[in-house]
Structure 1
């Protein structure tokens, strides 16, 4: 077997990337970043929408529990009354359902809401509640405004009284509307 010294072996070219190949890879990565980045940048909006969906479910469940307690107390046909929930907090009711007030929502949801008053900071709470319109509560995340399209609108129960004999009070349940198109 014939051996050769290292000095007499032919030099192999080193394999690697050329400058053109590196530029092409960088351009492709840049294009991917530009097209994919907007999908990841709006995660906060998606999180707010999901949180509002969960809160809407809690509101619906809580208002049905309050209504059940009002029925047991025979207050479900009264224009205004009050029931006590498991937390021990009183919930003001309108026709057996929670009133559209900050106190009612804090009691039956066991959540601390910020409101539009000057002494309550929005940043300290997860949600804000606007009850400036009588009979309506607007709940929205702290990074939005009540006029935005990222909110839950609660319109309290109403009732009509029939004039036919026997006179009856027909209660219309509250409406809970979720709007997430602007989150």
Structure 2
């Protein structure tokens, strides 16, 4: 068996990154961070959109509960009535569905809404200045923004009463 001494073994060259290569990599990562980070870091808008989607689900559920109680009370074909929900607060209704008013929404949702005259003081801002329509938007937004929920109350035709359920539209484009 042949043995080699340490002196006869070949020396491995140590290889590493040069300072220039490291700087180039850091510059490339910096450029990627500047261009890609804003796309992924719009957390406030995503949070507002998710909050509105959750509130929309709550409105639909609460609206159906109010409608069910209104049907039981035989008030579902009346232009105006009230239904008492679990909170013990009467909910003003229009053809069996919640009216488009601040009082009705606070009663059947058990959520605090700030009126348009004093925005950003409660959970959500609400604008009920247009008859038959409620606009709900997150704090720091105004009714003109494309980050809102619009609720248009129920309507009915005359003669044999045919009720058209309320419409709930959600806009999350500019949240």
**What is the match of residue 126 of structure 1?**
123
Shift of 1:36: 2.0
Shift of 1:121: 4.5
The alignment's C-alpha RMSD in Å is: 2.0
Say whether 1:114 aligns with 2:114.
yes
Name the SS for the 2:114 alignment partner: coil
Q: Distance in 2 between matches of 1:121 and 1:76?
A: 33
**What is the match of residue 161 of structure 2?**
169
Shift of 1:17: 3.8
Q: Distance in 1 between matches of 2:68 and 2:6?
A: 97
**What is the match of residue 101 of structure 2?**
101
Runs of 4+ in 1 over 3 A off after TM superposition: 12-17
Relative to the length of structure 2, the TM-score reads: 0.88
**What is the match of residue 152 of structure 1?**
149
Shift of 1:18: 2.3
Q: Distance in 1 between matches of 2:147 and 2:119?
A: 19
Post-superposition Cα deviations, 1:75-105, rounded to whole Å, max 9, x if no partner, equal 1111111000011111000111000011110
Name the SS for the 2:174 alignment partner: coil
Name the SS for the 2:113 alignment partner: coil
Gaps of 5+ in 2: none
Q: Distance in 2 between matches of 1:149 and 1:121?
A: 17
Q: Distance in 1 between matches of 2:149 and 2:43?
A: 20
Shift of 1:25: 1.7
**What is the match of residue 67 of structure 1?**
67
Q: Distance in 2 between matches of 1:34 and 1:148?
A: 27
Give the conservation status (yes or no) of the 8 Å contact 2:119–2:125.
Answer: no
Q: Against the structure 1 CA distance between its residues 16 and 96, is the aligned structure 2 distance closer, same or farther, given a 3 Å change threshold?
A: same
Q: Distance in 1 between matches of 2:72 and 2:6?
A: 102
Q: How many residues were matched structurally? A: 169
Shift of 1:48: 0.8
Q: Distance in 2 between matches of 1:57 and 1:93?
A: 19
Shift of 1:126: 2.5
**What is the match of residue 44 of structure 2?**
44
